[in-house]
Amino acid sequence: MKICIAGLTGQTGAGKSSVAGYLRQNGACIIDCDLLAREITLPGSPVLKKLSERFGDDIIRKDGTLDRRLLASRAFADKVGSDALNAITHPAITELARERMIQAENDGFDIAVLDAAVLHASELKNDCDVIICVCAPAEERLERLEKRDKIERAEIMKRMSAQPSEEYYRENSDIIINNGVGDDMKNQCDELVKQLKNIAKEKREG
C-alpha cells in the first residue's frame, strides 16, 4: 500500500481516543476497531453465536443484540477470558480492518490509523508502518474511567489488570505519547502528525 498505516494503541483510559481525534482533525482516516467489533457482532452474526457459546447465552438480549456490559464483565475478569474474546473476534475484525485500509487508500487518504487497544495481540500489527502508544499513570486512568464509564472502581481495576503492563506497551511501540497531568499532548501530537506525513511521503515516492 502507498499510504501510511499507523497503529494506535494503549491501556484503557490512557487517552487513545483523544489522540485519534487529533489525527482525524489533521486529515487521517481513523479505523476504529471498537466500531468494527460492533459491526461483526450484529444480531445473527456468526461471531455473536461463538461469543454466546463461550460466555453464556444471556449475553444476547431478547431483541438479539449483544449486552456489551455483561460480556465485558465476564471477558475482562481475567486474562483467560480476555484471550478467549480476542480469539473469537480478532479474525473478523482483521478482515474488516484490511478492507477499510484499502478503502482509505482508494478514497485518497495519505494516512490510515488503526485505533486498537489490543493491537499487539493482533495480526494487524504486522500491517503497520509505525505503532503509536498512548500512556498515562494508572491512577489517572482509573479516575478517567470512573467518570467516563460510570462503573464501580473494582470492576475498572479488574479490566485494567487484564491488560498488559505499561512497560509492555512502551517496549513494543515505536512512538510514545505521554498523556498524564502536566504532559503537553498537543505538542506531542503535532510532532506525530509530521512523522506520519513523512512516512506517507516516503511510501508514495518509494
Whole-number average pLDDT of the chain: 94
- Give pTM, 2 decimals: 0.87
Distance, in Å, from the CA atom of 20 to the CA atom of 31, rounded to the nearest integer, reads 9
| Half-sphere CA count of 68, side-chain side, radius 13 A | 10
Distance, in Å, from the CA atom of 148 to the CA atom of 13, rounded to the nearest integer, reads 9
pLDDT score at 135: 97
Altogether, the residues listed in the chain come to a count of 206
Distance, in Å, from the CA atom of 21 to the CA atom of 28, rounded to the nearest integer, reads 9
Domain ranges of the chain: 4-46+92-197
CATH 3.40.50.300 fits 4-46+92-197, yes or no: yes
Using one digit for the tens of pLDDT, what is the confidence trace for 37-78?
Answer: 999 999 999 999 999 999 999 999 999 999 999 999 999 888
Using one digit for the tens of pLDDT, what is the confidence trace for 133-192?
Answer: 999 999 999 999 988 888 888 888 888 887 889 999 999 999 999 999 999 999 999 999
